[in-house]
Each structure stands twice: as structure tokens, then as C-alpha cells.
Amino acid sequence: MVKIGNIELGEFPLLLAPMEDVSDPPFRAVCKDGGADLMYTEFISSEGLIRDAIKSRKKLDIFEYERPVGIQIFGGDEEPLAMAAQIVEATNPDLLDINFGCPVKKVTCKGAGAGILKDIPKMVKLTAAVVKATKLPVTVKTRLGWDDDTKNIEEVAERLQDVGIKALTIHGRTRVQMYKGHADWTLIGKVKNNPRINIPIFGNGDICTPEQVIAARAKYGVDGVMIGRAAIGYPWIFREIKHFMQTGEHLALPTVLERVQVCKRHLEQSVAWKGDIVGILEMRRHYTNYLKGLPHIKEFRQQLVTLKTQAEIEEVLDAIVVQYKDHIFERTTPQWAENEHLPASDKMAGCNVYG
């Protein structure tokens, strides 16, 4: 049984990654239905919370059906991070996560996200301040290092454990890599197999097939995996991995009807949480992924991203079901998922996400 503090997550939990502009409550709702064991909010600025910024406060919204759920914060200064941790605790999530992995320039230039990887002593100090400020279990998500010359994740893991974090998620890239190239799981495995490490270690990067998950568990010994891009428009990924791990067989791919039904629920949740205008606008980024693999879908997709009412969008989705009722999806592997650090026999296994 994998545990973060007193939170029991099962034998090999599947985590939904905190993705900016993606991992909001409507998206988390469909991923929870799809089998995610632990989910995180989008990252929230510590300074934004202290200033009572509307966008930052809105990201604190969590719902009972999501549990266990963690709220993720980021920042580059000790006092704001500690204050943000206290604000987060008042909203009663199951845990608090610190983002030390975001690679975008507007975050790293402030010494936050992956920017802190240039200053490990400060990273440790910030983490200790957050642990001290809250009674919630504190976890961290980070990267291997700033660049190829500073892959110091083994030292980082030990030092963060020593100041009290309860779990660590490692994305198998450096900050300089951003999201390019392949994730390197070898150092993730070294951290997990370090005899000094006794907290759960979760791996993240390029996972989109059940075979890859089994390979990662067998080769690197991780306690679970975090899934990001593979879940966008395909929340079934979690249940499919679980089924394959239990039976060694693939679940049938979801039909067009099933995809449209979940897409409709996502839309409904988006409108309910954000309102008609914003809810409809922000759903537009998801339609391509829900409909990936359908031939000659451009005209329908164009309608979905221009219509302005929920009823009109649902009519188009219903028309898609009629048009493609006989379509059979195939398993394919996106290029980013062809991870050279997973065993060769597994890295090219079919991926349900994009086909």
C-alpha cells in the first residue's frame, strides 16, 4: 500500500499531473471517473493567493468527489510560500504540493518552478518553510536538474526528505529540455532505489501506454506514475492501465459514443464552474483531443470552436456520433511517447490516446 502521510493510494497509484490551463475541476472530474487515484490542481502563485487575486483563488476550488486531491503552489520566496500554505490548508485539501518543475521563463526568471534548481540550498529552505507552516502532508514535483551538467536529483531527494516532504514526483527531463527530447527514467530509478529514501517516488514523463507503465515499474521500481499529456482528451487512460496491470489484456478502446458522452460531461462541468462564456471558450482546447483519430473531422471541429451555446455544441457532438457510428479506432503511439529509456520491447507498444 502506497501512502502519503495517512492517505492510502493503493498498491500502484496513477496520478494526474497538474497542468496549467488543463487540470481544472471539470477536467479532473472526467479523469476521476476514468480511474485517476490522486489529482492535483493547476499550479497556484503564492503571491497571487496573498494578494487575493481572483484567478489564483478560483484555482483553490476542490470538490468532495475528487478526493484525494492536492493543491499545488509555486513561488520563489520563503514568506509568501509559507503564507500561501496556510491559505491552502484552510480550504481543506488532502495534501499540498510544491511546484519546483515548471520550466516556463516567466516562472523560472523569478526563481520559482524549475528556476529553483539553480539554488538547491534555497530549494531546501523554501520546502522546510512550507512543511513548518502547514499540517497538511507536503509533496514536491521537480525535474532532474537545471541542465545536463546539474542533474542533482539524487541529492535533492535526500535533502527534501530530510526536511519533511512525504512524497516526491520526478519528471525525467531537465529544465533546459523543457518538454523536448525523451524523458530519462534512469535517475528516477536511482532515487527510488537509494536505501536512504523511504518516501514514495513517482515517475513522470512520456507515459501513455499500459506496457510503458509496467516497464517503468519493473525496471525502475517507482511507487506509481504521474500522467499528463496522455490524459488530455483521453481520461480512459487510467482505467486502461489498471485493467492491463490486473489482466495483461487491453480494454476495448472507447467508441465514438463514449467519447462524445464524456466530452459532453466535460463541457457541462466547464459551463457550471466557469459560466457560459468562459466555460465554452476554454473547452475549445479539448475538442481536438477527444476527436483525434476520426477522419475528415475538420468541419465538425471548426463548428465546435466557433459555436457559442452549449446546446448548439451538443447538437454538433450528436451529429458526430451519427456520422462516425461505425468508425473503429486503432491504437497508435505519439512520437513524444517513444521513450528510449524504457525497454525496447515496450516503448513502441500501441497507445490509446491519439488513435
> Is 72 part of any known ligand binding site?
yes
Q: What is the DSSP letter of 79?
A: H
Q: How is the chain split among helix, strand and coil, in percent rounded to 5?
A: 45, 10, 40
Cβ(174)–Cβ(153) below 8 Å? no
Nearest to 87 by CA among 23, 137, 44: 44
> Is 228 part of any known ligand binding site?
yes
Tell the burial category of 336 from Cβ atoms under 10 Å away from its Cβ (0-12, 13-18, 19+).
middle
> Is 347 part of any known ligand binding site?
no
> Is 159 part of any known ligand binding site?
no
> Is 229 part of any known ligand binding site?
yes
How far is 205 from 213, CA to CA, in rounded Å?
Answer: 11
Cell of residue 96, nine digits? 499540498
- At residue 323, φ and ψ (nearest 5 deg) are -65, -40
Tell the burial category of 261 from Cβ atoms under 10 Å away from its Cβ (0-12, 13-18, 19+).
middle
Cβ(153)–Cβ(192) below 8 Å? no
Is 31 a catalytic site residue?
no
How far is 254 from 258, CA to CA, in rounded Å?
Answer: 6
Catalytic annotation, pick one of 102, 208, 263, 351 = 102
How far is 224 from 343, CA to CA, in rounded Å?
Answer: 18
Cβ(50)–Cβ(83) below 8 Å? yes
Instruction: Please give the annotated binding residues, written as ranges.
Output: 72, 141, 171, 228-229
List the catalytic residues.
Answer: 102
Instruction: Please give the annotated binding residues for FMN, written as ranges.
Output: 72, 141, 171, 228-229
